[in-house]
Amino acid sequence: MAAGLPEVTAVHIARKGAERLADKYRLFGAKDGQIAGLIEAHVEFQHANAHLIKPYAGALRTMQEIRKKGLKNGIVTGRDEKSGELVLKITGLAPLVDARVFGDKTTRIKPNPGQFLECAQLLQTEPGHCLVVGDSKADIEGGNAAGMKTALAAYGYGAIVKSEIKPDYTLNAIGDVLEII
């Protein structure tokens, strides 16, 4: 228990992973007077421990194969732009991502379909031609609400919420997406 708040488990993250940090901390019991300090500590921790960021096994190869197929892709995340770009850079995925929609750059956060629709617009494609691959309940609900096909990343937090949502596909490894597209 940190800052007098209850422990947050992987189940909490899988169910509520898409909210902005301030909203997450409120959900987990933080008072308004604590939130700025918690966010500052959170961001400091992320940046101090960036060496711990690792891509899923096969992520780089999968993204390269998607590129070879001539398909565009994007990232939709509740993360702020600075943090999201750091993750993309460290994982080596930055040059392979065509569109980025960050949580601090939009008012319509997952599970609201707004971020997904914004990404489709940036990619200059119709929502019905998109596949959302996500590991949270909010990813699948938001993609479904946007009229997109959805694939649950059961190799991440998605395994925890698998029984609570209805994706079109379930992926056991990131490379499984290549069989769908």
Whether the bond between 167 and the residue before it is cis, its omega within 30 degrees of 0, is no
Confidence at 161, pLDDT banded by 50, 70, 90:
confident
Q: Are strands 74-76 and 131-134 parallel, antiparallel or unpaired?
A: unpaired
Domains of the chain, start order: 10-51 (no CATH), 54-179 (3.40.50.1000)
Q: Which residues contact 54 (CB under 8 A, 6 or more apart)?
A: 91
What does pTM read for this prediction?
A: 0.85
Any idea which of 18-22, 32-36, 115-119 has the lowest mean pLDDT? Answer: 18-22
Per-residue confidence (pLDDT) for residue 104, from 0 to 100: 87
Joined tokens for residue 33: 């007077």
Render pLDDT for 105-146 as a digit per residue (tens, 0 to 9): 888 888 899 999 999 999 999 999 999 999 888 899 999 999
Mean pLDDT of the chain: 89
Give the whole-angstrom CA distance, residue 177 versus residue 151: 8
